[in-house]
Structure 1
Amino acid sequence: MKGSPFVRYAAALIGGILFYVWQPQLGWWVAGLGIGGAILFGWGVFRNARQDRKPLSPGAGIGSTLLLFSLGWVITYVHTPATRSDNILHLSLPLEAYEAVIANQPEERAKTYRVELALRRGRVGGTYQPVSGRVIVYLDKSGIPLPQYGERWLVEGTPRLIDPPLNPGEFNYQRFLSYKGIYHQQYLRQPQRQVLGVAPPNRLVGLANAVNLFADSLFTRQVGSRSEYGIINAMILGVRDDVDPEQYRAYAASGAVHILSVSGLHVAILFGVLTVLLGFLEKRRGGKYLLGSIQLLILWFYALMTGFSPPVLRSAGMLTLLIIARMMGRTHSMPNTLAASAFFILSADPYALFSAGFQLSYLAVAGIGAWQSGLYQSLSCRYVWLDKLWAVTALALVAQLATFPLAVFYFHQFPTYFLLANPVVMVLSQVLLPVAMGTLAVCWIPGLNEWAGWVLQKTAWLLNQAVSMTGQLPGAIWDGLWLSPVQLLLIYLIILSGVALLVTRQKTYLWLTCFLGLSLTALLLTDQYLQKHQRRLAVHFLPHKTAVSLTEGAKATLFTDLDLRKDPRSFDFYLKNTFGQWGVTDLSVSALTDTGEAAGNSLQASDYRLMVWQGKRIMLVNRLNGSERWQLPAVVDYLIIRRNALRSWEELNGRVVARHILFDDSNKTALTDQLLAEAATRNIQCFSVRQQGAFVADL
């Protein structure tokens, strides 16, 4: 630890960040820790001030740790927009209109532009006042060009709070955006906004976005094929809007999807290529300074070109420390350098700690630094090309070992052929990235720019072909994997204990590994037992749609009016994780139609559908005020109201009696709110998935 002080500094800072997220209200307690830490640190330094050889001082060490812990808490408090008194979260009256500036490069979607606005002032109660906060706006395209970074808008309407996840296992989009300081969103049509001018809030970010747009236009011109252009745009510029969904799934199935996001891997590839190509400079007098300067210039130009993507900034910062250390002739410790880059990044943006990209990239680099050399040296290859292949394979193995538990925890899948695809992907990426940079460099030279564009397009084509062939192999992806936080921790402890066993050959680590493995097995078997014996009715939240599922063991039937062929993204976002979490491997979909039919334990008419399942009567009502006045003599257990079928509680009188009354989101929100308010005065128990989230009943 003495040779890697930043490991301790970063750990203390991370502890303070986590403590703020867990206990944001304990500011006075943290202030006491900080004062105590300052006293201990000052006492330790003063005590040893007159000694020539400064011994280790426990007081100074503990004091500095407490100070950094408090600093982490304070930095997170300062970087939390909700703590500001003028944030729109704290307005007592609704925001009627507001003036804001586009704070990031807008993204183009199928029907809308996604724009992040930073508020400057807002109209509340008829008067304008200074306000702060950020709003995600989805602007109807309607033939208008993509908005520019720095545009000032006057927007009419009230942003609404972003919904929390309303289904079990659903991605927590609200928390994801809150870590970016965004709590509201709004859907806009053209008449609701007026462009007042252009005033970029940050000129450097404005320059980065301009360079990004220039590179995008160049690749559009130089690379004719849309599939290759989409991959190049994603890999080089971080824009994945043009990647075909089928192509994206092929990259995910082959374990190469990480290559589609600009990240530390791309920076490391660029750094490695520059070191090889320009290594001859280091042998000259003053060459290490020239080499380091060129490397820094190109690395930070690449960061500029990606629009200062956070993953690229992380890696560029870490490599900057390495380059400067080499230029100064200083030795460096990988753990210390890694921890130092994390320390400075988290000091600037503490919420980066909760980014999956941040966690995965640092785990991968830490794993590579700790284990890749040993694994590579465990085998020797006579042929140079075979040795290079083994080096890339060892790198992929170590990176996958370090990151696969966390990747499964976040993304619930594992690519089974990653060893087959990754060496090819790594080799082609090491060609594609410098060729893309070269294409930008020679864009002004006629003839040479066309040749560079042709090479770039063919390299991207080869990459696509290799990935597609791997992704089409049977069983290419192991999907539906779920890990609890405890299981995730156990897997990492097993990995660390197993590595320690291989290195030390001590029986203590053998018994520890066996104990941890048995504990993990017991948890997994318990989950499988519970899933096998589950019997569950659920009314899911699906925007403006109906989604009712009946789950028995690993089988489930979903009754919905969502067309999965036309809108698979809604299912993937709102429902896929629910069934994955429940261990459903056999899901059948039954479309809700208006045609009458009777089959088995299901009776369907134009106004309703009645089912009996696990001894429970479940009724979906489409219409109550139709031409035929139907009446159900038996009591139903679950009455699901859909498509605004119920407009007043009197309409149920003499029709049906239910133990549970449920409203799905195919009903208008205003009507549901009105019925819920009336139900409270009438002492009627009912449930709305829009207001309360998915209804789940274990039978």
Structure 2
Amino acid sequence: MRNAYHHIDFYPLRHPLVLFFIPFAVGIVTAYYASGIFTTAVVAAIMIVSMVGLILSQYIISKKYSDYCLYIFCGMTLMSVGALLCLQRINATQVDWPQDKGDYLIGITSPPRHSERSQRVDAKILSGKYEGKLLRLYFPDSVNISTGDEVFVHTKIDAPQNSGNPHEFDNKGYLLQQGISGTGYVWQYKKRDGTERKSSLRQWGGKVREKLTSRYSEYFEGQSLAILAAMTIGDKNELTKEVQDIFSQVGASHLLALSGLHLGILFSIFNITFLRRTRNRYFRIVLSILGIALLWTFAFIAGLPISLQRAALMFSLAQIMIIFRRDAFSINNLALSAIIILIINPLSLFDVGFQLSYASVLAILWIFPIIPCPKVVARYKVLRFFHDSLCVTFCATIGTAPLVAYYFHNFPVYGLIVNLVLVFFAYGILVGAILFFILPFATEFIAIPLNGLLKMLEATLTFFAELPGSHLKPYPTAVSVLLIYCLIFLYLFFRKKRKTLYPVATIICTFIIISESYAHRPHRLKPQIVFYNLYGGNAIHFINNEEDTYLWQQGRDATRSLSYIEKTFWEEENIKTPVQLREGYDSVKGNASILFSSLTDLPKATDSLLKEEPKSAVISFHNKRVIALTGKIARSRDSTAQVDYLYVTKGFSGDPASALEHYSPKTLVISSSLGDKYRLMWKVSAREKNVTIKDMKESGALVVHL
């Protein structure tokens, strides 16, 4: 293992493809975040100017400066190419969908993923104006659909949107990266029979994956089935949230996401079984090509995730280099694989799997060769194998830890030990899975030890997860993560050079990281009112500080939707469980006070009242008056005072003009649960009375800082 990396160093001129990758990636990032400024025509013009400047600089400018001009104009050209590809991808994905429901013929392109009451599938429109566009659709859980089915659906398609809740996951950006143009809920549908279309490779892979999972289910069940399917064929449908949390806490999530570890094990098995036993060079070439074909077949069956694309490309390039007797594992090959993936889909650069995969491999290629191997260890192959495995795990951890902390807010304390143990589990499970399928006459006998190995894996991870201090929950900012990588780069780049640049840059980066951490420290919340944008419910959060918060909610599904906010916004900001507002609640703490009363004649709060749906209510907080209107207009002494925010939700059936006349609010907040017809009526009436409008379906959640 070590001999493969002994010569690697990261001086850019020794790895020219890195010099191509950097400006190419910078162009993609610039276009993604400034897509509203740069159009395709502007970027194309910049690219033409750069190419003309590149050519002219070699004839007009003196040789002394021609090299600098070459680097500048080449960089600008590559940036323009990256930006142009990114903008084309964004423009191809974004669609102006009709405002009303429509009829579409779709083909299911992914296996259904079941949730509590629905199932999610990815689909492709097969005909009509929007042919070729990808959708993410939700069907009732009772519908029997599978990959490759063609279905007529009657539904309303919306462009992907975020809810706008604080600290939420960027679902809109994620769907854009996946090429998803629209989402919708399907209640009216009809399967199409009698027509067979040619399946794409992805659809073929999905069908094979479903068959293999069905084969597994005959001999395995529960979480053993879920872990086995995820580790060997990339099917995560059966994984529960509890099991995923255990893997995440101990730093073993990569075991469930097929990547270079899995392909490395599979290819090492192929290498030991066939390639090492073959002396004839031409026969080795044939076997290498066969191995590459098998790798990509496995990748398509597993759904072709970004991490597997990178690994398959790297191993393919490595085998090609071996055939031509060139360097197999290098940063050049890593950069080439990244460029190929980004040319196919520039938005893959923003995929978490892409970033983690390349960060880990780059760290291994760069750091592993400089870790010394003790002479005592080098004498024995077994000790050297353990030493190298531990070093590779250490390098991968250094490369991915900042990103894991930023995206998942997790740092596994026992990650090194756990990952060293997991290598042996992964070998055993993958070998067992191969034997399970290629030896059908011994399937029942192979399933017994394989099932035991899966139980041992689950027990081992549970043991480490339950140890005290098994994981930390850091919350670094994006700037801090970038600066941490800068520190790693500075150390590795200048470790052999005694220059003042390194200590000065280190001090500056460290100072900025400390400043960022202090600026974003916990217990910094100021009083605010948050109108959450929830699916299936409504909620208003009155926050005085982290310890003192109050919540009004309405709708049976509001609690389930709030559970996601609890794990993001509340947990990150250390917000305690809020007090549920009930009839007659009155609290005064310091300068903050909150008064809650219903707009109907309800009795005082009792245990039985907690089970009832909240009625229309008036809430006073920090001299701001909020009315949550869920029913008919109610006339009470509380409702006639100045209203700052009138929050209209599903259930109100009165006349909007009369309600606005009665309450005279400064701002109208329209819940996303309100139907399109009533939303339009409220907007028209509010504009006539010059009332500020906040439509949560269009602008997301509303945060009012007090």
TM-score by length of 1: 0.84
1:126 corresponds to which residue? none
Indicate yes or no: 2:685 matched with 1:678: yes
Quickly say closer, same or farther: Cα 1:653–1:141, change in 2 above 3 A.
closer
Q: Please report how far the alpha carbon of residue 337 of structure 1 lies from its aligned counterpart in structure 2 after TM superposition.
A: 0.5
Indicate yes or no: 2:235 matched with 1:239: yes
The RMSD of aligned alpha carbons is 3.6
2:475 counterpart (464, 473, 482): 482
Quickly say closer, same or farther: Cα 1:465–1:532, change in 2 above 3 A.
same
Quickly say closer, same or farther: Cα 1:42–1:108, change in 2 above 3 A.
same
Preserved CA contact (<8 Å) 1:238 1:262? yes
2:9 corresponds to which residue? none
User: Deviations along 1:413-458, whole A, 9 cap, x unmatched?
Assistant: 333332232222222112212221222222x3x2x22222223222
1:51 corresponds to which residue? none
For 2:554 and 2:386, locate their aligned partners in 1 and report how far apart those are by CA, in whole Å.
47
Quickly say closer, same or farther: Cα 1:118–1:517, change in 2 above 3 A.
same
Q: Please report how far the alpha carbon of residue 265 of structure 1 lies from its aligned counterpart in structure 2 after TM superposition.
A: 2.6
2:92 counterpart (82, 91, 103): 82
1:319 corresponds to which residue? 315
1:437 counterpart (434, 438, 442): 434
For 1:282 and 1:504, locate their aligned partners in 2 and report how far apart those are by CA, in whole Å.
46
Aligned-partner SS, 1:488: helix
Q: Match of 2:29, as an amino acid? A: L
Quickly say closer, same or farther: Cα 1:517–1:310, change in 2 above 3 A.
closer
For 2:578 and 2:82, locate their aligned partners in 1 and report how far apart those are by CA, in whole Å.
49
User: Deviations along 1:468-507, whole A, 9 cap, x unmatched?
Assistant: 111222333333x433332222221122223445444545
Quickly say closer, same or farther: Cα 1:118–1:632, change in 2 above 3 A.
closer
Preserved CA contact (<8 Å) 1:235 1:259? yes
2:513 counterpart (514, 520, 533): 520
Residue correspondences, number = 667
Preserved CA contact (<8 Å) 2:668 2:686? no
Aligned-partner SS, 2:258: coil
1:539 corresponds to which residue? 531
Indicate yes or no: 2:440 matched with 1:424: no
Indicate yes or no: 2:275 matched with 1:269: no
For 1:525 and 1:635, locate their aligned partners in 2 and report how far apart those are by CA, in whole Å.
39
1:115 counterpart (92, 101, 121): 121
1:404 counterpart (395, 401, 404): 401
Which structure 2 residues correspond to residues 573-652 of structure 1 after superposition, within 5 A? 573-574=564-565, 576-580=567-571, 583-591=572-580, 601-605=594-598, 606=602, 607-609=615-617, 611-625=619-633, 631-632=638-639, 634-635=641-642, 637-642=644-649, 644-645=651-652, 647-649=654-656, 652=659
TM-score by length of 2: 0.84
Preserved CA contact (<8 Å) 2:105 2:151? yes
1:72 corresponds to which residue? 82
For 2:496 and 2:275, locate their aligned partners in 1 and report how far apart those are by CA, in whole Å.
34
Q: Match of 1:579, as an amino acid? A: W
User: Deviations along 1:197-235, whole A, 9 cap, x unmatched?
Assistant: 55445443343233222221221123x231110001111
Q: Please report how far the alpha carbon of residue 338 of structure 1 lies from its aligned counterpart in structure 2 after TM superposition.
A: 0.3
User: Deviations along 1:357-386, whole A, 9 cap, x unmatched?
Assistant: 111101110001101232363796487655
Quickly say closer, same or farther: Cα 1:462–1:592, change in 2 above 3 A.
same
For 2:570 and 2:533, locate their aligned partners in 1 and report how far apart those are by CA, in whole Å.
13
1:470 corresponds to which residue? 464
Quickly say closer, same or farther: Cα 1:585–1:474, change in 2 above 3 A.
farther
Aligned-partner SS, 2:578: strand
2:373 counterpart (374, 377, 399): 377
Aligned-partner SS, 1:528: coil
Aligned-partner SS, 2:431: helix
Q: Please report how far the alpha carbon of residue 188 of structure 1 lies from its aligned counterpart in structure 2 after TM superposition.
A: 1.0
Quickly say closer, same or farther: Cα 1:201–1:577, change in 2 above 3 A.
farther
For 1:33 and 1:632, locate their aligned partners in 2 and report how far apart those are by CA, in whole Å.
59
Aligned-partner SS, 1:116: strand
Preserved CA contact (<8 Å) 1:211 1:304? no
Q: Please report how far the alpha carbon of residue 261 of structure 1 lies from its aligned counterpart in structure 2 after TM superposition.
A: 1.4
Preserved CA contact (<8 Å) 2:310 2:357? no
Which structure 2 residues correspond to residues 19-98 of structure 1 after superposition, within 5 A? 19-21=30-32, 22-23=34-35, 25-36=38-49, 38=51, 65-80=75-90, 82=92, 89=96, 96-98=102-104
For 1:219 and 1:17, locate their aligned partners in 2 and report how far apart those are by CA, in whole Å.
42
Quickly say closer, same or farther: Cα 1:65–1:650, change in 2 above 3 A.
closer
For 2:498 and 2:432, locate their aligned partners in 1 and report how far apart those are by CA, in whole Å.
46
Q: Match of 1:693, as an amino acid? A: G
Preserved CA contact (<8 Å) 1:152 1:199? no
Indicate yes or no: 2:496 matched with 1:496: no
Preserved CA contact (<8 Å) 2:106 2:123? yes
Which structure 2 residues correspond to residues 120-519 of structure 1 after superposition, within 5 A? 120-122=126-128, 131-142=131-142, 144-149=143-148, 151-189=149-187, 191-222=188-219, 224-278=220-274, 280-281=276-277, 288-289=284-285, 292-293=288-289, 295-332=291-328, 334-375=330-371, 377=373, 381=377, 387-442=384-439, 444=440, 446=441, 448-479=442-473, 481-500=474-493, 502-504=495-497, 506-519=499-512
Query: Which segment drifts farther, 543-552 or 371-380?
Result: 371-380
Aligned-partner SS, 1:89: coil
Q: Match of 2:456, as an amino acid? A: L
Aligned-partner SS, 1:473: coil
Preserved CA contact (<8 Å) 2:109 2:147? no
User: Deviations along 1:587-635, whole A, 9 cap, x unmatched?
Assistant: 2134456x66666654444445555544545554554556x85545654
Aligned-partner SS, 1:690: helix
Q: Match of 1:421, as an amino acid? A: V
Query: Which segment drifts farther, 492-501 or 566-575?
Result: 566-575
Aligned-partner SS, 1:450: helix
* Structure 1 unpaired stretches of 5+: 48-55, 123-128
Aligned-partner SS, 1:71: helix
Q: Match of 2:561, as an amino acid? A: S
1:4 counterpart (15, 24, 43): 15
Indicate yes or no: 2:561 matched with 1:570: yes
Q: Match of 2:414, as an amino acid? A: Y
